[in-house]
């Protein structure tokens, strides 16, 4: 039975959690290139935890230029079993208000300038993304946030746009017509790559604004996003602590969704036709099925 190792992707201040023991920054090399930053590793209540600042310390990498493959690869190399993503999102619903937390359960991927798979020319694989979020981890995250002074919405569809510009008014209205609940720039292809790497993944969307569709609210700006995020920083850290506390009380068993074995029937290229260079790069994310 695998032990819990929690990976957290989010703002650069998330690692500043009281009680982390043996905390240290480590650079993990990846064949997919440099990750956003070093990882901050430590132990919290006996649970190994690995933090990765998504945009780097100092927020110097735009969403389009994030090396998502390297980020997921280095977490896999650290032994991470479960990834919690904390992300700023805009609300596309009246009742999802700035300051609220949303436990996302679906995505619509509208990005177009990013590498979205570890597989490709030489080793082809197709994983199921019907249910892109780990239900167990999402439930644990929602329960952890419920213990705090924050409104928690269980479920929501996250429209992932390319950015870095915010939406036009026409786009914002269109996404509302599609039934999307929140909008952001960062969780795709992050969730797809986590599934390819057979790692549980869940997202807490921290609502910062109403995008630009709401006639009675200011249009989204960096200023109001940062203001709300600053107010939510302590809540985000407390949520992580509460998830870790829950992990100390239960064994980590395989998920009912079969996430840990997602590659069993995904590889379509026969062994004799696989590209050796790509196979070498896949040693961490797909090593279980390629040995």
Active site residue ranges: 209, 211
Beta-bridge mates of residue 267: 125
3-state secondary structure 229-279: HHHHHHHHHHHHHHHHHHHCCCCCCCCCCCHHHCCCCCECCCHHHCCHHHH
DSSP state, residue 267 = B
State how far the Cα of 282 lies from the Cα of 291, in Å rounded to an integer.
11
Contact 279, 123 (CB under 8 A): yes
CA distance 99 to 102: 10
Nearest to 66 by CA among 221, 248, 193, 238: 193
Cβ 84 vs Cβ 90: under 8 Å: no
Tell me the C-alpha distance between 62 and 151, whole Å: 29
CA distances from 53 to 25, 103, 205, 283 (A): 11, 20, 16, 24
CA distance 68 to 191: 10
- Sign of the C-alpha dihedral, residues 169, 185, 241, 57? negative
């Amino acid at each position: 039975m695998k032990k819990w190792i929690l990976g957290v992707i989010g703002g650069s201040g998330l690692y500043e959690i009281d009680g982390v023991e043996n905390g240290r920054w480590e650079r993990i090399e990846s064949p997919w290139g440099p990750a956003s930053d070093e990882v901050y590793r430590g132990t919290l209540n006996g649970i190994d935890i690995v933090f990765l600042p998504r945009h780097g310390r100092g927020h110097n990498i735009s969403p389009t230029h994030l090396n998502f493959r390297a980020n997921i690869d280095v977490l896999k190399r650290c032994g991470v079993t479960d990834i919690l993503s904390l992300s700023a999102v805009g609300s596309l619903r009246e009742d999802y208000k700035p300051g609220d937390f949303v436990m996302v359960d679906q995505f619509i991927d509208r990005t177009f300038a990013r590498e979205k798979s570890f597989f490709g020319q030489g080793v082809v694989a197709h994983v199921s993304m019907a249910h892109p979020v780990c239900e167990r981890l999402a439930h644990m995250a929602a329960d952890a946030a419920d213990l705090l002074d924050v409104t928690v919405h269980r479920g929501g569809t996250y429209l992932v746009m390319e950015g870095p510009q915010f939406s036009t008014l026409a786009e914002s209205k269109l996404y509302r017509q599609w039934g999307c609940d929140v909008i952001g720039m960062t969780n795709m292809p992050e969730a797809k790559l986590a599934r390819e790497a057979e790692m549980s993944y869940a997202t807490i969307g921290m609502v910062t604004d109403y995008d630009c569709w709401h006639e009675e609210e200011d249009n989204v700006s960096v200023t109001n996003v940062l203001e709300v995020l600053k107010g939510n920083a302590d809540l985000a850290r407390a949520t992580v602590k509460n998830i870790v506390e829950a992990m100390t009380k239960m064994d980590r068993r395989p998920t009912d969704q079969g996430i840990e074995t997602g590659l069993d029937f995904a590889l379509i290229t026969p062994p004799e036709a696989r590209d050796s260079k790509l196979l070498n790069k896949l040693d961490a994310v797909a090593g279980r099925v390629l040995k």
